[in-house]
Amino acid sequence: MRNNFLKLNSDKTELVIITSKASKHRLTIPEFNIDGIVIEPSYQTRNLGVIFDSNLTYEAHINKVCKKAFLNIRNISQVRRYLNTKTVTTIVQACVLSHLDYCNALLVGLPKHQFQKLQRVQNSAARLITRAKRCEHITPILKGLHWLKVEQRIRFKVLVLVFKAQHGLAPSYLEDLIIQYQSTRTLRSCDQSLLEVPPSRTISYGDRCFARAGPLLWNTLHKELRMLSELNSFKKHLKTHLFSKIYTAIPTVRASRAHLSSQSGN
């Protein structure tokens, strides 16, 4: 900071120590002093709009996203009857889905119950657009809107970052984390465009780091998808791949409604 003629604002400086829940009580925290002011460690802190907690559970961040998104859904619902489907879809994507997608790659590998909170937000947004009732099954509605579910949207973001890191389209600090798999012998896997998966000592957040989670997800893709070299083509085929995995043999909401109408008519 001094070399660049800058001054660190001690009043706005926060300290958070990230560790596992098991080792938190065994940790010795040194004194952190800036200009005579001791900075006390806090449980959570905000960085670029994301709330980081000391165990990287992101519970506070997810709760904040859900609260803000549900508030926007409520505001949009008050004027829904004046808007056509195309307009309300655009508004929902800008005011609701944008919050779900912002920095969502950080949430990869979280427990299922964490994703369920965000999924309820997306479900409510889908019902708002289609005017569907709460008793209607949500999966055909999401398929009709051609939306990936929250967990798949996170995987999509991570896999796109892995693709960019391999093709010189990502920052160097991400490119350094992606290493091509090199076999010591001539095997069939040599030309599969696989990535090295580094070991991890912790399941809670070590398995969720980009260096490990990215290659793990990448190696599960089909070879044809991994061999693509153009970004837009990769995004298109990746979404199709993820979409087909979760919506196989599931009719869209229009088709299911037509089927139910024909049954009631008979």
Q: Which two tokens stand for residue 35?
A: 């200009």
- Residue 48 belongs to some domain of the structure: no
160 shares its domain with 134: no
164 shares its domain with 231: yes
- Residue 72 belongs to some domain of the structure: yes
- Residue 98 belongs to some domain of the structure: yes
Q: Which residue has the higher pLDDT, 201 or 215?
A: 215
92 shares its domain with 17: no
- Residue 257 belongs to some domain of the structure: no
108 shares its domain with 159: no
- Residue 240 belongs to some domain of the structure: yes
159 shares its domain with 239: yes
Do the beta carbons of residue 152 and residue 100 sit within 8 Å?
Answer: no
25 shares its domain with 74: no
Looking at residues 41-60, what average pLDDT do you find? 89
Predicted pLDDT at 156: 96
174 shares its domain with 218: yes
- Residue 1 belongs to some domain of the structure: no
Predicted pLDDT at 259: 43
Predicted pLDDT at 182: 77
Which residues, listed in sequence order, are joined to residue 51 by a DSSP beta bridge? 46
- Residue 256 belongs to some domain of the structure: no
62 shares its domain with 129: yes
Please count the structural domains in the chain.
3
Cβ neighbours of residue 195 closer than 8 Å, sequence gap 6 or more: 162, 178, 179, 180, 181, 214, 215, 218, 219
Confidence band of 251 (pLDDT split at 50, 70, 90): low
Domain, as residue range, for 64: 56-142
- Residue 199 belongs to some domain of the structure: yes
Looking at residues 125-147, what average pLDDT do you find? 93
36 shares its domain with 79: no
Helices (H), the chain: 59-77, 85-92, 98-101, 112-130, 138-145, 150-166, 172-175, 210-219, 223-226, 231-247, 253-265
